[in-house]
Amino acid sequence: EIVMTQSPATLSVSPGETATLSCRASQSVSSDLAWYQQRPGQAPRLLIYGAFTRAPGIPARFSGSGSWTEFTLTITSLQSEDFAVYYCQQYHNFWTFGQGTKVEIK
Amino acid sequence: EVQLVESGGAVVQPGGSLRLSCAASGFTFNDYAMHWVRQAPGKGLEWVSLISWDGGSIYFGDSVRGRFTISRDNSKNSLYLQMNSLREEDTAFYYCGRETLEAAGSIDYWGQGTLVTVSS
C-alpha cells in the first residue's frame, strides 16, 4: 500500500497570506495525485487532479505542483473560506489519502 | 446539476449488517466509475471501494475486503454498499463519489454522507 504523509498537521496563516502544504508518497505515484478541501460539516471538494490541474470552478489562487513522491498545494491570498482541512490522495496504485493538513486562522 | 444522495446509515450492533444506497442524478450514471469513501468522526478520509461503470471491476480497501460488497444498478442510477460483520471501527460517515473522467481515480463529486454507528 502506498502511504501518503502530509505536513504539517496544522498550518496557522493570516488572511491574505500564502499557505504551502506538502504531501509525500512512500513510493512514486507519477502525477496521479489529487487535492481535496473539506470544510467543517461538509463533504470533500476536489481542488486539483493530475498533480497540477485545477478542477472546474476552482479559483486560480489554488495551485498544485510536484511529481513522483513529492507534491505541494499552494494557496495564495488566503480567503476566509479557505480555512479548512486539505487532503492529498494518490490514485496510481489503488487509492489512499493522506491524513490531512488543517489550515487555521493565525 | 450533479447530485449524489446517500441513505441507509443507522446504528447497528457489532456483527450486524447494513446496506447503504447512493442515488445519483444530473449525469449519465453508467458512464462513470463510483467510489465509497468513509470518515470516522473527527478523523481523516479512508478509501473503501470502487466499482467500474459496468460493475466489471471491483476493488476494496484492506480493512473491509471480505466483509463489504459493492454493486450498482444502472437502470436505477444507484450505487450500493452491503456491509456485513460490522465492527466498531467501521463507525464513520460513508460518502459515495463519482470518479473524474479526466483523471481516473480522483473523485469530482461527493454526496453529503450517511452515518453508520456500530455499537452495542
pLDDT, mean of each 10-residue run, chain A (106 residues):
96 96 97 97 96 96 96 97 97 96 95
Which ranges of chain B would DSSP assign to H, the alpha helix?
A: none
Nearest residue in A to B93, CA atom:
A43
**Is it the case that residue B3 has pLDDT exceeding 90?**
yes
Indicate if the pLDDT at residue B103 is higher than 80. no
Which residues lie below 8 Å from residue B87, measured CB to CB, with a gap of 6+? B14, B118
For residue A53, what is its C-alpha cell?
A: 490541474
pLDDT tens for A19-34 read 999 999 999 999 999 9
Q: Which residues of A touch B113 (CB under 8 A)?
A: 43
What pLDDT is stored for residue B102 in this prediction? Answer: 78
Question: Closest chain A residue to B112 measured between Cα atoms?
Answer: A43
Query: DSSP string of A4-25?
Result: EEEE-SEEEE-TTS-EEEEEEE
User: Does position B98 have pLDDT exceeding 90, yes or no?
Assistant: yes
Is the distance from CB of B31 to CB of B101 less than 8 angstroms? yes
> Cβ contacts (< 8 Å) between B35 and chain A: which residues?
95
Residue with cell 501518503: A4
Please give the interface size between A and B, counted as residue pairs whose CB atoms are below 8 Å apart. Answer: 68
List pLDDT tens digits, range A77-89.
Answer: 999 999 999 999 9
Q: Do B105 and A91 touch (CB under 8 A)?
A: yes
* Straight-line distance from the first to the last Cα atom of chain A, in angstroms, rounded to the nearest whole number: 35
- The pLDDT score that the predictor gives to residue B14 is 97
